[in-house]
Structure 1
């Protein structure tokens, strides 16, 4: 362990371990394996470096000289061919090789805070490879790339010379499920989609919001329902209508149409009606709370037919009594 009580082992092949379930705060050292030569340029660099290294200028000097000479010719040739992006890539590779030859190769990367995101995914997003030099790691740009990942809300990148990088991430929490266009995604509190839905036990009990724009307003309905748990526990999904108001789809099939304003008052009123009148257990299909001065209830077809027959019988009895 290092002086801060953190895991800091040498980066040898096979020493990495998946830490999808480890507690936040622990650091995972990730090995940087030696890559196979990826291009003719890399092979040529190694061959010339070995040959020059046996001469009087020394191995490190030979490495630097070889990198600079061949790298310069390579970039010049690529630029003449009009391939600017490829030239930039070669420049990065040349810079890494030169800095690595000078002793600044990244040999250890400590990761902490990850749970859903795996170490290989973090390294890939950060752009850190086995050939990366610490001199050419832009901490701010690396942090921005990490924070662009759906699961990662915040990241910290620290360079510790000559060969170590510490990366700490804060992941978003799964807050709700969002259904739109036939797809269901897990979303964070800020509405960011972070994963496709699966039967993971962590997701099955999440509240469900439906419709375009519902992910951006998920907090208002989830928090409002949280203040009325007796209603919340009977809601199957909350549907955003025309980006203005919510309709609750209850588990027994009843639709509760909520007003655009006064969401908390409407939910409290609904809970009181259910407590006093057992409203949500009656044979109805819709409870409309959009009007401030009245509540509109629509009976189911069977209940409507029963009620109409009862009214006819009552009118008939009244007419017979009057005769």
Structure 2
């Protein structure tokens, strides 16, 4: 087990973590302020990836593809909020789950109708197609760009939440939304803005993940489950918690998938180790969530603590 391999997987875990953060940042605020269970968040991630792939196919510009993913997901999120989600805020959580699960099925079938059942591939932009040198270690430039984008979004989110009036309202809404509404704040507009921004960040995550994953129907479901684990560990309603939890989950999942099979090979046959290792790595994430909830039931960085 070389130091180069460990360092490479740490960077891969960091890259996976920042992608999870892009998804978790908006979703945790929707949970925390609106108390809305949005299972369709993964579908917005998927739609962002498709928007980016289509824009890149027609323009050849990765920058325009990312802009199309963010803009398209923002508009789609606002449309969903206006047409359906706003009518569900006062309903039971079971209604939220059933309605947004229906949206998941709808969007999965929609992309099959528009783009077909086969995966769509988004190319890595030429200027990020090489590798960068990090202290004598070569790492793919595009994956490093994902890390940079995620960290910039994290810094921007922190400034928005902690240094602006809108952020003050968001933090107050996460703690006591009824009091914020009683003070004359337009909660309807705040909810729509948060839902739209969350959708935009999900679209950005889809666009950034497109070149390293196949863009296909249903791609949002598996990552949504991991995103829910992130916001539970970090604390519902806390962007700071989502950031740190996303990095922890990304590194734990990535390191586990790489090194657990290597460790099991010392004790069992290679075929068994290669099959059991990734499964045990997936379990590590949920075990981590269980440990955090046993120690801090409200998460590591709850919004109202």
TM-score (norm 1): 0.22
Question: Greater helix share, 1 or 2?
Answer: 2
Question: Greater strand share, 1 or 2?
Answer: 1
Higher radius of gyration, 1 or 2: 1
TM-score (norm 2): 0.22
